Amino acid sequence: MEPTIGLNGSPSIECTSLSPSAPIWQDVLAQAITGELIAAMNYASLSEICDDPEEVADALEHAAGERGHAARFAAEGRRIGIDVPNNVGAKHWKQLRLAFLRCIQDRDFIGCLIVQEIMLESFAVASYKRVGRVAPGSLGQTFASIAAEEEGHVDHAMAILRTERSLDPRRFDDKVHRLHLDVMTTLAKMLAKECKDGHCEVCHGSCVKPSLPDVSLSAAELRGASLQQYLKTLDALGLPGEVTLAWVTQLPV
């Protein structure tokens, strides 16, 4: 397990005297913060393979933005009396980071965008929107607001990816499929209704999924919304709907 990345918070505290839902929000926030930190690391890595100084600056700006999101989530945790841990070395997140680093190793800028903007951000945007609808007060507002900001990223990347696909749709779609098998298989395991591969190494105690209905969420809903967002994003890119349907239905549950 990699050490927790500090976000200017106080040491971990137990939530025994807090509202009954605080431990649930703690785990939801822990996943969100870990995801944002992974995104920040990914954009920082991306900046290293960009040739154009403007692209370098964009990537670094995105990295800073994602760290800012993580900090905002951490602040929301403190606001409800909890310190939220994170673990970018947790098994699934680590796999996702390694998949991105393989693209970096190949200096595959388009592959990086597909992994981060199409796959990971679909998951983030859809999940944050759902959480934003049910989380109380400023916690909900923060999730909703960050979801909207992440959608802005996706729009920017979509323009680049659509142009790339128009040059050679077959090659582009094959690349997306290869990355789908790598990245979305891991994401699907994270999104499964039950964690069948053991503890995710992010939740602070036992798995949070069975407790999600206590805050009007469910693992099935988060999975469904994420995969729907992913399919819609692929549709918008122009991939054939019948092909992406088969991809998604073949994912593990």
Partner 1 sequence: MGDSVASVTSSANVAGPARTIEVDFALVGHQESWRTAADVIARLRGPEHAPLPDDEIPDILPWIPPRPVCHVDVGSPIGAKARGLYIDSFIPPDRLEAVYTHDNLARVRAAAACAIKAGAKIVSLGGFSSILIEGNLDLLKMDLLKTEQLPEKHATVFTTGNTLTVAFIVQAIRKMCALQGRNIRKSTLLIVGATGDVGSGCARCLAPVVKRVLLSARNLERLRKLAAELEASGVQVEIAKDLQRFSAEADLVICAASLPSPSLLLGRVAPHALICDAGYPKNLSPSAEMPGATVFFGGLGQITGGLQFAPDFRGVLNRHPFPDVVHGCLLEGMALALERRFEPFSRGRGSITPDRVEEIETVAARHGIHLAPLYNADGPVEDAPHCRTECSRA
Q: Which residues bind partner 1 (CB under 8 A)?
A: 162, 165-166, 169-170, 173-174, 176-177, 193, 220, 223-225, 227-228, 231-232, 235-246, 248-250, 253
User: 217's torsion region: left (phi>0), alpha (psi -120 to 50) or beta?
Assistant: beta
Q: In sequence order, which ranges of the chain are alpha helices (DSSP H)?
A: 22-47, 53-79, 91-105, 109-113, 121-134, 137-167, 169-179, 185-191, 219-237, 241-249
Is the CB of 36 or the CB of 164 nearer to partner 1?
Answer: 164
Closest approach of partner 1 to the CB of residue 148, in Å:
21
Closest approach of partner 1 to the CB of residue 100, in Å:
22
Closest approach of partner 1 to the CB of residue 147, in Å:
17
Closest approach of partner 1 to the CB of residue 252, in Å:
9
Is the CB of 148 or the CB of 181 nearer to partner 1?
Answer: 181
Is the CB of 19 or the CB of 166 nearer to partner 1?
Answer: 166
Cβ atoms of residues 74 and 36 within 8 Å: no
Q: Give the orientation angle of helix 91-105 with respect to helix 22-47, to 10 degrees.
A: 10
Is the CB of 33 or the CB of 190 nearer to partner 1?
Answer: 190
- CA-to-CA distance for 145 and 128, rounded, in angstroms? 9
